[in-house]
């Protein structure tokens, strides 16, 4: 089967990214554009259009309009996902050899940039749930205890990265965290890939957007948390702690010379759509609907985990002795496609289309799953093996470029990794170049490989 034939494959229900739900929630103006003769709209950087880094043209004009609307200093559209813009933001914050402070649940795009540029990560651990293995949201008290472990006079930190919300929808109260960093004059990048829509929904009791919480740099994945096409993203910046010239240079460094006009139009329309009052109330209805889906499933005794993002339905499959990967396979075979299987849970992304019929379909398949699956007596997540504050044994860029050999992971105990070990989704590295595979880390990764096929009998490059 060709790729193009597969792209029109029908599923009963697609609860994965992109959040426009296979076109159902695309902005009307984008749908109209796509109704033109195929490919007609695929234009180069004509002067009237420009590019995300042009001073003039329609792209510059809408970026400026959005930037003014949200009182930021700048907004840039991106066509290589949140990943691409996060990478530019990281390069703008730190030079090779400088240090960035980041949580253990940082996205792999940050680690790749650190490896490429030899920007030195210092990781801080997060509290995690023994029930699900999920990282819990970072709190001010936790961050204070992290800061206490760091001697800021000895160790120059170039900036801090936060991830909020997480893939499953756990979100922090960002403002106190950002204030704490700003007291130390540290710029903050918030990876808000999963929370773009928070920016438009101040009244729905959702987490406050990073952009309204004084973050210096914020990256949104418009296909994950607004209704953009895959790869669309936006970067916003504020304040005086990040050098504008560095930021623009860093975007330029990584951006293609031929950004897709379709994707740029999708960036614009997905943001503009939410600024339109009538559309906004339609989306707000969807969010309320998502909250009621959660409540009704709970009433039906489905073991759900509550997070701060109503668009994520996180099922705690371990409660019934089934791991998330087995549940995912079952639902997939039956046409209900989820987004994120993990050892203890399975996460569905409702997206922005009407999903009322999800409840009936889910309940029916859930009952079949319970009848037909072998139940495991004990599913257990191991406590994370990390110290509260920890840096790789060897500088990441040096380890990445070192001579390495490939061995089975089972033989890697006490070796230094030259690899990034990172199942996707969720794209959170379990091990980065330069880190030692000590007994705790070894057992923790082995424990995860019980269910995740990406981690079964895998090889690793070690120094």
Q: Give yes or no for a contact between 213 and 192, defined as CB atoms under 8 angstroms apart.
A: no
Residue 355, C-beta contacts closer than 8 angstroms, at least 6 positions apart: 13, 15, 21, 286, 289, 290, 293
Q: Does 111 bind ligand PLP (CB under 6 A)?
A: no
Nearest residue (CB) to ligand PLP, 253 versus 298:
253
The residues pairing with 124 across neighbouring beta strands, listed in sequence order, are 103, 389
338 part of the interface to ligand PLP, by CB under 6 A:
no
Using the rule CB under 6 A, which residue among 135, 142, 147, 167 binds ligand PLP? 167
> Going by C-beta distance under 8 Å and a sequence separation of 6 or more, which residues neighbour residue 345?
132, 134, 168, 305, 314, 315, 316, 317, 318, 324
Q: What is the DSSP letter of 318?
A: G
Sequence-ordered alpha helix ranges (H) in 48-172: 58-69, 81-93, 108-117, 140-148
Binding of ligand PLP by 238 (CB under 6 A): no
Out of 72, 83, 265, 449, which residue is the one contacting ligand PLP (CB under 6 A)? 83
Distances (CA, A) of 238 to 74, 249, 336, 340: 7, 17, 41, 32
Stretch that binds ligand PLP, among 76-84, 129-137, 345-353, 408-416 (CB under 6 A): 76-84
Among 107, 286, 312, 461, binds ligand PLP (CB under 6 A): 107
d(CA 366, CA 212): 39
448 binds ligand PLP (CB under 6 A): no
254 is an interface residue for ligand PLP by CB under 6 A: no
The verdict on 221 binding ligand PLP (CB under 6 A) reads yes
401-408's contacts with Cβ under 8 Å and 24+ in sequence apart are: 402/463, 403/463, 404/461, 404/462, 404/463, 405/461, 405/462, 406/459, 406/460, 406/461, 407/459, 407/460, 407/462, 408/457, 408/458, 408/459, 408/460
Q: Is 82 in the site for ligand PLP (CB under 6 A)?
A: yes
Q: Rank residues 51 and 109 by Cβ distance to ligand PLP and give the closer one.
A: 109
Counting contacts by CB under 6 A, is residue 322 touching ligand PLP?
A: no
Tell me: does residue 309 bind ligand PLP (CB under 6 A). Answer: no
Residue 134 makes contact with ligand PLP by CB under 6 A: no
227 binds ligand PLP (CB under 6 A): no
Does 427 interact with ligand PLP (rule: CB under 6 A)? yes
Q: How much helix, strand and coil, in percent to the nearest 5, is found in the chain?
A: 40, 15, 45
Q: What is the DSSP letter of 233?
A: E
- 444 near ligand PLP, rule: CB under 6 A: no
Q: Phi then psi for 313, rounded to 5 degrees?
A: -105, 110
> What angle do helix axes 261-275 and 277-299 make, rounded to 10 degrees?
80
> How far is Cα 409 from Cα 192, in angstroms, rounded to an integer?
33
Which residues are 340's β-sheet partners?
Answer: 347
81 near ligand PLP, judged by CB under 6 A: yes
User: C-beta of 372: minimal distance to ligand PLP in Å?
Assistant: 31
Closer residue to ligand PLP, CB minimum distance, 26 or 365: 26
Residue 330 interacts with ligand PLP (CB under 6 A): yes or no: no
Among 2-10, 81-89, 114-122, 363-371, the segment contacting ligand PLP (CB under 6 A): 81-89
- Residue 219: count of CB within 10 angstroms of its CB: 30
Stretch touching ligand PLP by CB under 6 A, among 119-127, 141-149, 310-318, 421-429: 421-429
Task: Give the nearest distance from C-beta 221 to ligand PLP in angstroms.
Answer: 4
179-208 positions binding ligand PLP, by CB under 6 A: 191, 193-194
CB of 165 to ligand PLP, least distance (A): 8
* Residue 220 in contact with ligand PLP, rule: CB under 6 A: no
We find the least distance from the C-beta atom of residue 109 to ligand PLP, in angstroms, to be: 6
Residue 51 within binding range of ligand PLP, rule CB under 6 A: no
Compute how many other C-beta atoms are within 10 angstroms of the C-beta atom of residue 256: 10
Task: Give me the residue whose beta carbon is nearest to ligand PLP.
Answer: 81
What are the start-end ranges of the H helices in 154-260? Answer: 174-183, 222-225, 244-254
Nearest distance in Å: CB 425, ligand PLP: 6
CA angle 13, 335, 347 (to 5 degrees): 65
Contact positions toward ligand PLP, by CB under 6 A? Answer: 81-83, 86, 107, 109, 163, 167, 191, 193-194, 221, 224, 233, 425-427
């Amino acid at each position: 089967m060709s790729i193009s034939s597969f792209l029109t494959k029908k599923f009963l229900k697609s609860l994965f990214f992109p959040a426009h739900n296979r076109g159902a929630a695309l902005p009307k103006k984008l749908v109209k554009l796509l109704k033109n003769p195929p490919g007609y709209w695929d234009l180069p950087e004509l002067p009237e259009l420009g590019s995300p880094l042009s001073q003039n043209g329609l792209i510059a004009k809408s970026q400026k309009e959005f930037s003014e609307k949200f009182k930021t200093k700048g907004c840039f559209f991106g066509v290589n996902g949140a990943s691409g813009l996060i990478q530019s933001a990281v390069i703008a914050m730190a030079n090779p050899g400088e240090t960035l402070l980041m949580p253990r649940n940082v996205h792999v795009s940050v680690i790749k940039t650190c490896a490429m540029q030899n920007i030195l990560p210092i990781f801080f651990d997060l509290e995690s749930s023994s029930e699900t293995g999920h990282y819990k949201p970072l709190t001010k008290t936790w961050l204070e205890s992290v800061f206490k472990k760091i001697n800021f006079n000895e160790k120059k930190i170039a900036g801090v990265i936060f991830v909020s919300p997480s893939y499953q929808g756990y979100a922090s109260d960002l403002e106190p965290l950002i204030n704490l960093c700003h007291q130390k004059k540290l710029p903050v990048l918030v990876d808000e890939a999963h929370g773009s829509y928070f920016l438009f929904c101040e009244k729905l009791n959702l987490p406050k957007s990073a952009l309204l919480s004084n973050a210096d740099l914020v990256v949104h994945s418009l296909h994950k948390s607004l209704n953009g096409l895959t790869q669309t993203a936006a970067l916003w910046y504020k304040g005086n702690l990040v050098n504008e010239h560095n930021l623009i240079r860093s975007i330029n460094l990584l951006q293609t010379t031929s950004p897709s006009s379709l994707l740029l139009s999708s960036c614009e329309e997905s943001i503009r759509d939410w600024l339109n009052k009538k559309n906004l109330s339609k989306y707000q209805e969807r969010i309320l609907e998502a909250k009621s889906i959660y409540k009704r499933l709970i009433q039906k005794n489905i073991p759900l985990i509550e997070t701060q993002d109503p668009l994520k339905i996180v099922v705690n499959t371990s409660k019934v002795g089934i791991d998330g990967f087995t549940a995912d396979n079952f639902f997939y075979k039956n046409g209900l496609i989820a987004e994120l299987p993990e050892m203890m849970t399975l996460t569905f992304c409702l997206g922005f289309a009407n999903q009322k019929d999800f409840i009936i379909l889910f309940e029916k398949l859930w009952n079949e799953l319970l009848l037909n699956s072998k139940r495991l007596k004990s599913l257990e997540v191991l406590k994370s093996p990390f110290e509260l504050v920890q840096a790789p044994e060897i500088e990441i860029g040096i380890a990445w470029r070192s001579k390495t050999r490939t061995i089975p992971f089972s033989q890697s105990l006490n070796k230094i990794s030259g690899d990034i070990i990172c199942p996707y989704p969720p794209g959170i590295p379990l091990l980065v170049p330069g880190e030692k595979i000590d007994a705790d880390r070894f057992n923790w990764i082995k424990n995860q490989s019980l269910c995740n096929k990406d981690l079964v009998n895998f090889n690793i490059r070690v120094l």
